[in-house]
Structure 1
Amino acid sequence: MQNKYPQKPGIDFILKQAFFYWNKTLVFQLMFSIVYFAVFLTSLFFFASKYGIWDQQQELMNAFKISTEAYIKKAAELGATENSRYFSYAFLGTLVFLYPLNIGFFQIFRKIDLKEKIELSDLFLGYNGLNFFKYVGYFLFWILIYFMIAQTIILPFIWVLVTVFVAPLMFFDNRRSFEAISLNFKVLKSHFVEILVCVLVAFFFKYIGFAVFLIGGLFTFPFWNAMIYSLYKAVFSDKS
């Protein structure tokens, strides 16, 4: 595929396309969320029990009843324990393991464009062969940077904008992660408003299902992937 930078796409068109792909794949959106949260919650409860996190939470609650200072002191004390570190590693590992599940949507959306039959196996494409290690390696790098800057207000959001196209560039153009970040940065400078607005809409819609419709969040949670694909198509002109 070759990339060129066309005229700035209309935000309304990008949004319509994103909701079109999302609406066409509601069954897969639901399946994604069920698999994602089943694995995530199972892992969370397993490792929380294994490393005594529930007991630590009870200690924190008891400290909170005494005073805020006692709570802060206890939290710092427990956070420095070996079990807390192991639980943090397990939590991070679970998030990294689940990331390739997002990649399958790029295959699904492309098949919609090509009018090809969508199969259940498409959703798990990111776990096939070396693909798994490629995407897991990238997301491990991404999330470590994110956690390092998480205490700032603006830097995490900037990091999201700078990397929003990395996954599709790796998937469709077989770009390396750092090369994809460089291309993403160039595009961000020329399409900043469009990318900013779409990212904000995607973030809001991604979680509104849980806030308003509760179980509806299972359908809206993966919406982010539809927005990324729509943005990618609008910003990058793909030619085989």
Structure 2
Amino acid sequence: MDAPVHFFGPLRCLECGASHPVAEGVADLVVDPAASGPLQRGMEQRWVARSYERYMRPVLQRALTRQPLDGDSEFLLYRSLLGTPAAPVLDVGCGTGLLARRLAREPDMAPVAAMDLSRAMLEEGVAQAREAGVGVDFLRAEAPYLPFQDGTLGAVLMSDALPFVADLSRMLLEVHRVLRPGGRWVASTYAPPKAPRALLHRGVGLHPRGEAELRREAAAAGFVRFERVSLPPLLVVKAEKGSAETPR
């Protein structure tokens, strides 16, 4: 049996020749980051990353959804909607990788990758994963673009990340592209508030959506079997990438 081959140094794209650094356990695939809102900029602060799971995330969830699920209920909901992925799972907007770590502990779970734009969050995520002794691959990349080949993922999870995405159509097209047939997209958001709060949310870089818009955009991207769990104002959705024969 041949010995495994280990590669060191930066990642290199075989098609374009671009080189991407790997440091502190994080593959950095961001080339030219777009301007971010105040909330996203706050996520780059190291003190925010260190306190994110215990303090900042619960506070943010309560501010946006009023009555957030407890940690175990939240995980069980996402886990049930993800099903049994037959290929790697990508956690988009992973923060410090709280859900990614729990997924990686699941028996017979496919490999788990976690993606975020915040370097501070990812570095904290690497430290937490090492301390927990679980294997999660962390990469820095900017949604809506997903740095994976067509049809390679079994599921894409976007817990709390969807409101940070301005271009929903592009995001869903990318998710559909990287999923295998039968692969699932699971995401959460919250119902758009009424004015003047809506202007405040937009001002800090948040883009909440309702069920009708999500259902319409998911169908336009090619998804089938759209389902939702409504816990107003929290909205959790699931859709699948169908085969060529699957009717929408």
- TM > 0.5 between the two? no
Task: Give the greater-gyration-radius structure (CA).
Answer: 1
Name the structure where helix makes up a greater proportion of residues: 1
TM-score of the pair, normalised by structure 1 = 0.26
Relative to the length of structure 2, the TM-score reads 0.25
